[in-house]
Structure 1
Amino acid sequence: MTDATQQIEGRTAMEIADSVRTLLERGALRPGDALPPVRALAERLGVNRNTAVAAYGLLSRAGTVVAGGRAGTRIADLSPVAQEGYARDSVLRDIGAGNPDPALIPDPSRALRALAGRPVLYGEPVIDPGLEAWAGDWFAPDVAPAELRLTITSGAVDAVERLLAQALTRDDAVALEDPCWLASIHTVRLSGYRAVPVPVDTEGMTPDGLRAALAQGVRAVVCTPRSQNPTGADVSARRAEELRGILADHPYVLVIEDDHYSLLSQRPFHSIVGPAHRRWALVRSVSKFLGPDMSLAVTATDPETAERLALRLSPGTTWVSHLLQRLAHALLTDPDSRDTIARAGAHYAARNEAFVARLAAHGIRMAAGDGLSLWVPVGAPARDVAEQLMRRGWLPRTGDEFRLAGDEPSRHLRLTVHDLTDAEAEALASDLAASIPAAS
């Protein structure tokens, strides 16, 4: 606790909150600084404990402070977090971007020329009828028909953000996979929720990790059933059954399944949502196979969540362009486009498998997993290995960026290798093998 906290003053909740904001604006308090416990602050100011609680509540809802449970309340740290995509202003070969291959994204030009129809006006349905009908068939094998309620959002990140917002308030706890997709970390952090890490192994979220998170009172769980980013893990049938059993005792915890890789995945879909679960959502975006610029996702939810989500998608103000929806529908129903998507999924899997075989020849053994990238164990601090690779002309991504918990440095790199030639892939495997002992 800093000496500046002794300068906090006020007799009402608003006065106390304003005092903290003023100290922060003047630089007396800084991001990460701990604030006094509620009881200690109330005693020093001579106010009721509930007044101090209310003051911290005002600060929390404004995003000024973050409540960490037993760790206390701290000034929020809003420093930038890592983002997906290409690194800017680097002369090194970027092998950490996580992007799809542009050559394997369906060409929209023919579909664009064919788009026609009357203009869509204010107050019309949020989801375009053609896309809604197609998506109903897409979700039907995985969602009970009686519960199939669909809506549309501007991508998976938008869907997850809206789903959490309609169910949670600031400081509520959310279970996230650890390591975790960068966008999920960013969403939870900026919304003021408290992330509770759940370890991930080769079969997805671990049962013990989910039990521990639920015991901490999480009100939502965000899970990736296929191609978990960054590990590439897929939830197995056995693991899904076990997780459903654990969640059966918590039917009102919102479970969000982000099936972002869907049509590209070479693995079956296994849901962790049981038939009696009351709050759930299955999100499927098109960005990985129709391109990141096609910012669109379809979400299936339980009826109550669907109604709450609809309130946050008002026709005429926050809808998703019907032209974009019609373009997505045209591509998703076009045989040539679907063939391109199928070839893309097979290509990513084959290139990843080939690189894993190259690594094995150099003594680095791992499973390929599922997805656009590989989660490579390096047996040494990942940042040290990355530094060695950078000296050899490569720009990898370390596992540290994806972690939620733990003080120990990551020992994994996330590598995107599907766009490397055979010669480049062999050079990278050789350089990685040489970098590991140099970093140890």
Structure 2
Amino acid sequence: MPDTIRAETIPADTSPADTLSAPVPPLAARAARTGSSPVRDILALTARPEVISFAGGLPAPELFDAQGMADAFRHVLAEQPQRALQYSTTEGDPALRAAVAARTTARGLPTGADDLLVTTGSQQGLSLLATALLEPGDVVLVEDPCYLAALQVFSLAGARVVPVPTDDEGLDPAALDEIAARERPRLLYVIPTFQNPTGRTLSAERRAAVADVAARRGLWIAEDDPYGELRFEGEPQRWVASFPGAEDRTALLGSFSKVMAPGLRLGTLRAPAPLRRALTVAKQAADLHTSTIDQAAAARYLADTDLDAHLERMRGAYRERRDALVDGLAGALPEGARWNRPAGGMFVWATLPAGYDATALLPHVVRQDVAYVPGAPFFTGAPDPTAVRLSFVTHGPQEIREGLERLRRALETAPEGARRDG
């Protein structure tokens, strides 16, 4: 009998279920090859309240307009609860898109509401662009050093990331042209204003050159602008998207995280119509739509509040904090160190003297209750072990000065093995 035969062939110490099980399938290769963000890992290590951290690009929480946001949510829930709590369109709240379009137009780039897609943070915009534009193996050009979370997105997409050299003025257009001719890239990713991690800003001449290279070499541009409204001094620069040659090939990513609140997880993506349609389909597959209530509250906030006045208060506070950090670095870093003075944004880029290893030094520095982000992980090409990213926005000037004093002591007392590379 079949049942008898099956029972006789199974060992006494196993069950039928044991003989039918197979190994759990492995993770997808893209998940296995993409590591966690070193910055977020460092933030987890420095979460102790006594740590003065220059590591994370965390907007100052005391500068959030908590009352204005609370009023906006209250009005939305009181006046239109059924709509605010319901599913919504993939493209995004019409009032919010109209408000962003008006602000974008006022800053020099004519934009209509229908040119925009609302995203769940600008980080999702990057992921949608990778989905819509990249096949495994496609080449993406990035500034070197580059924003870490963008590198994660491109890794998950299976792209081959190729670095473009930079100098103290940002991306080198001549190198971009040479590399684009050789590599035949699909996409260039760039943060032209107050770049993360370096704080650098591309000049108008370099922006025009980037647009020209993209047009001649036939590549898309992803222009990320999370920091552009945080300018402390100098004249605003035109978006790359506004230069001849770039208009029909640039996706402009915007974010509410730095100007309103990162917890809203709201961003926007301005793109040419054919690309925007593909991005909308990708977003439908990703999350259907961004939070209805958060969009409605943001739209109400923009309608009721003078965001420019709020931004001016933020700029004043951040300017003071930048000055405290930059002016104090001479006394905190070893002789021979270099750093920049960004005209806005959130970050200062510093390099320690030759031979120092910022990564090796970090555990000792954290034990002194201060932290920074080593610059090496931001590089796709050969890393600079002496590089350090310092954020000046999270703490007030007095805490910044105390943090720099802790950093000075930490660097002076670091063991030789931690101080020097090799």
**TM-score category, normalised to shorter length:** 0.7 to 0.9
Distance 1:271 1:434 in 2: 42
Classify 1:225/1:148 alpha carbon distance in 2 versus 1 (closer, same or farther; 3 Å). Answer: farther
SS in structure 2 of the partner of residue 263 of structure 1: coil
How has the CA–CA distance of structure 1 residues 146 and 97 changed in structure 2, closer, same or farther, with 3 Å as cutoff?
Answer: closer
2:403 matched to 1:413?
no
The answer on 1:372 being equivalent to 2:314 is: no
Q: Measured at CA, do residues 319 and 365 of structure 1 come closer, stay the same or move farther in structure 2, by a change above 3 Å?
A: same
Distance 2:360 2:90 in 1: 53
The one of 111, 124, 129 aligned to 2:94: 129
Distance between the aligned counterparts of 2:262 and 2:245, measured in 1?
Answer: 35
Does residue 351 in structure 1 map to residue 317 in structure 2? no
* Matching of residue 243 in structure 1 with residue 210 in structure 2: yes
The superposition leaves residues 221-279 of structure 1 with CA deviations (integer Å, 9 ceiling, x where unpaired) of 111121211101112112212222322302x4111111011332336133334333332
Shift of 1:82: 2.1
Question: Which range moved further: 297-306 or 272-281?
Answer: 272-281
Structure scoring higher RCO (CA < 8 A, sep ≥ 6) equals 2
Matches within 5 A, 1:305-316: 305-314=275-284
Q: Separation in 2 of the partners of 1:302 and 1:135?
A: 16
| DSSP-derived class of the 1:290 partner | coil
Q: Which amino acid aligns with 2:378?
A: F
Residue correspondence of structure 1 range 34-45 to structure 2 within 5 A: none
Equivalent residues in 2 for 1:98-247, closer than 5 Å: 98-107=57-66, 108-115=69-76, 116-117=79-80, 118-119=82-83, 124=89, 126-140=91-105, 141-145=107-111, 149-215=115-181, 216-247=183-214
Q: Which amino acid in the other structure matches residue 74 of structure 2? A: R
Contact map agreement 1:284 1:297 (CA 8 A) in 2 = yes
Question: Which residue type is aligned with residue 309 of structure 1?
Answer: L
Query: CA 1:77 to 1:160, structure 2 compared with 1: closer, same or farther past 3 Å?
Result: closer
What amino acid is the match of 2:359?
A: R
| Aligned 1:269-288 pairs, distance under 5 A | 269-273=237-241, 274-277=243-246, 278-288=248-258
Measure, in 1, the Cα distance between the counterparts of 2:275 and 2:360. 45
Aligned residues: 373
Relative to 1, partners in 2 of residues 1:336 and 1:65: Cα closer, same or farther, differing over 3 Å?
A: closer
The answer as to whether partners of 2:58 and 2:394 remain within 8 angstroms in 1 is no
Could you tell me how far apart the structure 2 residues matched to 1:222 and 1:308 are? 18
Equivalence for 1:334: 304
Q: Partner letter of residue 295 of structure 2?
A: Q
Letter in 2 for 1:383: T
Structure 1 residue 184 displacement after superposition:
0.4
- State the Cα distance separating 1:123 from its structure 2 match: 7.3
The 3 A distance-change label for structure 1 pair 269 and 429 is same
Classify the secondary structure of the residue corresponding to 1:257.
Answer: strand
Output the amino acid matched with 1:272: V
Please say which of residues 417-426 and 102-111 is displaced more in the overlay: 417-426
Q: Taking structure 1 as reference, are residues 119 and 154 closer, same or farther at Cα in structure 2, changes over 3 Å only?
A: same
Whether the aligned pair in 2 keeps the contact of 1:63 and 1:192 (CA below 8 Å) is no
The answer on whether the counterparts of 2:96 and 2:299 sit within 8 Å (CA) in structure 1 is yes
1:85 Cα deviation after fit? 7.8
Q: Which residue of 2 aligns with 1:97?
A: 56
Contact 1:378 1:412 (8 Å CA) reproduced: yes
- TM-score between both structures, scaled by the size of structure 1: 0.75
Alignment partner of 1:77 is 2:50: no
| Cα gap change, 1:86 to 1:328, in 2 (>3 Å) | farther
Aligned 8 A contact 2:221 2:249 in 1: yes
Q: Quick one: distance in 1 between partners of 2:131 and 2:396?
A: 44
Query: RMSD between aligned alpha carbons?
Result: 3.1
Paired letter, 1:372: M
Taking the aligned partners of 1:158 and 1:109, their CA distance within structure 2 comes to 25
- Structure 2 residue 370 is matched with structure 1 residue 399: no
**Distance of aligned partners of 1:243 and 1:148 in 2 relative to their CA distance in 1, 3 Å threshold:** farther
Distance 1:335 1:257 in 2: 28
Question: Which range is displaced more, 309-318 or 370-379?
Answer: 309-318
The AA in structure 1 aligned to 2:166 is V
For residue 317 of structure 1, report the CA deviation from its aligned partner: 5.6
Once the two structures are TM-superposed, the CA of residue 331 in structure 1 deviates from its matched residue by: 2.3
Q: Which secondary structure state, in structure 2, belongs to the residue aligned with residue 305 of structure 1?
A: helix
Query: Percent of aligned pairs with the same residue?
Result: 24
TM-score norm. by structure 2 comes to 0.78
Structure 1 residues 427 and 129: alpha-carbon distance in aligned structure 2, compared to 1, 3 A threshold: closer
Deviation at 1:100, TM superposition (A): 0.6
Change (3 A) 1:383 1:193: same
Q: CA deviation at 1:347?
A: 1.5
Question: Which amino acid in 1 is paired with 2:255?
Answer: S
In structure 2, how many angstroms separate the alpha carbons of the residues matched to 1:95 and 1:333?
A: 34
- The letter of the residue matching 1:358 is G
> Where does 1:288-327 land on structure 2 (aligned, <5 Å)?
288-314=258-284, 318-327=288-297
How far apart, in 2, do the equivalents of 1:163 and 1:125 lie? 15
Determine if contact 2:60/2:395 at 8 Å carries over to the other structure: no
Deviation at 1:383, TM superposition (A): 2.0
Residues 210/79 of structure 1: CA separation in 2 closer, same or farther (3 Å cut): same
Q: Which has the higher helix share?
A: 2
- Residue segments in structure 2 that go unaligned for 5+ positions in a row: 1-21
Give the corresponding residue for 1:57: none
Q: 1:98 to 1:316 in 2, by over 3 A?
A: closer
The secondary structure found in structure 2 opposite 1:143 is: coil
By how many angstroms is 1:298 displaced?
Answer: 1.3
What residue number does 1:47 align with? none
